[in-house]
Amino acid sequence: MKDILTAPSLQEFCRTTSNMYRLGWDERNGGNISLLLDEAQVGAYLDLDHVIRTIPTGFDAKALIGKLFLVTGTGKYFKNMERDPETNLGIIRIAKDGTTAELLWGYADGGKFTSELPAHLMSHMARLSVNPENRVVMHCHPTYTLAMNYVHELDEKKFTHTLWEMCTECIVVFPDGVGVLPWMLCGTNEIGEATAEKMKEFRLVVWGMHGIYGVGKDLDETFGLIETVEKAAQIYMLTAHLPRVNTIKDDELQVLAEAFGVNYRKDYLNL
């Protein structure tokens, strides 16, 4: 059996968390990621019949029974995951009762998965219902996106429209826009349910005054979505206090989206 530390998915996961920390998106233990794994691939590295221990999830995820996830640990710092993945990460399987996680590897210090796991599982279920290729749920606290929450209306149409205006690529990268939630208590099923509902329409959901959730078919795609929003938010924050001399007009956004053949939210443009 191969060494799990050499698994490409684990190595990419660790590189991603390190990069997110370096960018300032995940201070201390802020943020969390879950990656839906391929059972056949994991079976080459782990004995899938060996369950280290079981951990209640606090949520009924029957739709995900038997699914395997690589998940960041609660209270764990992103900066440490590449150095010590076995302590800071875990591979879990949703047990037959739907409410228990079977630990197959990781959390070596006796820890457990992120407190946001129910929100992640809810988002995985929501996204899989509209896109069977979805594999990643990523939550972080990008600096400029968070700053923008304090000076911009938390309205989905207006927030998305402003981001689209900031960079030519935005309407192409996230033509489905950005969902927005008001401030809610994190770590609860309530915020998980609200996020999952948004995930039926959006691949990006802003948690007001907190951070952002992104989803995608792999780590690169999901990281790229959040990265593009953050760049747009940075440009907005650098220019919001200055007179607007130029902008990308709505008819130009329409031309751009149609040139790239993306299915954009036409009602978010003022044409």
**pLDDT, tens digit (0-9, with 9 covering 90-100), for 99-147:** 999 999 999 999 999 999 999 999 999 999 999 999 999 999 999 999 9
Query: Residue 187: which pLDDT band, with cuts at 50, 70 and 90?
Result: confident
Instruction: Taking the CA atoms of 156, 162, 166 and 170 in sequence, report the sign of the dihedral they define.
Output: positive
In this prediction, residue 178 carries a pLDDT of 98
For residues 237 and 150, the answer to whether their CB atoms sit within 8 Å is: no
Element (H, E) at 22: helix 8-22
Q: How far apart are CA 21 and CA 158, in angstroms?
A: 29
Q: Over 90: is that where the pLDDT of 24 sits?
A: yes
- pLDDT category of residue 229 using cuts at 50, 70 and 90: very high
Q: Which position among 82, 86, 102, 116 bears the catalytic label?
A: 116
pLDDT surpassing 90 at residue 33: yes
User: 208: helix, coil or strand?
Assistant: coil
Q: Clarify whether 258 is annotated catalytic.
A: no
Containing H/E element for 153?
A: none
Do the beta carbons of residue 77 and residue 29 sit within 8 Å? yes
Average pLDDT over residues 9-24: 97
For residue 218, what pLDDT is reported? 98
Answering whether pTM is above 0.85, one says: yes
- Amino acid making up residue 6: T
- End-to-end CA separation in angstroms for the chain: 59
Q: Are 97 and 66 in contact (CB under 8 A)?
A: no
Q: Average pLDDT of the chain?
A: 97
Pairing of strands 179-181, 204-207: parallel
**DSSP secondary structure string for all residues of 38-49:** PHHHHTTTS-TT
Domains detected in the chain:
1-114 (3.40.225.10), 116-271 (3.40.225.10)
Alpha-carbon distance values, 75 to 22, 80, 146, 236 (Å): 18, 11, 21, 32
Half-sphere exposure for 140 (CA within 13 Å, toward CB) = 32
For every residue of 113-172, DSSP letters joined together read B-TTHHHHHHHHHHHHHH-TT--EEEEE--HHHHHHHTTS---HHHHHHHHHHH-TTHHH
The model's pLDDT over 44-81, given as tens digits with 9 standing for 90+, comes to 999 999 999 999 998 899 999 999 999 999 999 999 99
Whether 1 has a pLDDT exceeding 90, the answer reads no
Rounded CA gap, 28 and 94, in Å?
28
